[in-house]
Copies of this chain bind each other. A is one copy, B any other.
Amino acid sequence: MIAGMSSEPARASAMADLMRAGRETARLSMVFRNAIADRLGLTVSDLECLDFLADVGSATAGQVAGRTNLTTGAVTSMLRRLQQAGFVTAERDPADRRRVIVTLRPERIPELERPYERFAEQAVRLIEGYSVEEVLLLVRHFGRMREMYLAELDRLGGAQ
């Protein structure tokens, strides 16, 4: 609707398709994430936290708060929850005893990845059908999207 002028109608329509497809994919990924959290008996925030920990190994409670956009109070109770469910261990940092170091229990990782497994396999299969140039185009596109998201989030006053 806001469409910029374009000489060829095929181009304009392809662009509109892309805008629409992008929104739809974003929406579906949210629903997907929700479904996975449900299946694991977790909150979306819990999943976010565990994903983060899977990335970095271990982190302080404050870092978890930053990543999940939760208050420290909410993180405290989330960590109690995750600890009780055995997904995570938490202990005070001996070097700075104000801090709490949270660590994902490695033995639970497979369980967390299982719901994604089929999806990831299919994604790999899809990507294998692309040429290297095509893959690189997609990577560049996502990179630009990432920058746009971060810039907008910044502008919206979010922490992140």
Contact = CB atoms under 8 A, between A and B. Distances in A.
Interface of A: 2-4, 6, 8, 10-11, 14-15, 17-19, 21-22, 24-36, 38-39, 44, 48, 51, 69, 115, 118-128, 132, 134-139, 141-146, 148-153, 155-158, 160
Give the 5 A-B residue pairs with the shortest CB-CB distance, closest first. A21-B142, A28-B149, A26-B29, A14-B135, A35-B158
Contact of A155 (B4, B118, B145, B152): B118
B128 A4 contact: yes
User: Copies of this chain, how many?
Assistant: 2
A132 B8 contact: yes
B35 A156 contact: yes
Nearest to A150: B28
A139 B23 CA distance: 11
A9 B96 CA distance: 43
A132 B35 CA distance: 35
Contact of A14 (B10, B24, B136, B152): B136
A39 B155 CA distance: 11
A30 B123 CA distance: 20
A123 B31 contact: no
B127 A148 contact: no
B139 A31 contact: no
Given A28-B145, A32-B153, 15 more contacts: A14-B135, A17-B139, A19-B127, A24-B142, A26-B26, A28-B150, A29-B29, A31-B69, A31-B153, A31-B160, A118-B152, A123-B145, A123-B148, A126-B141, A137-B137
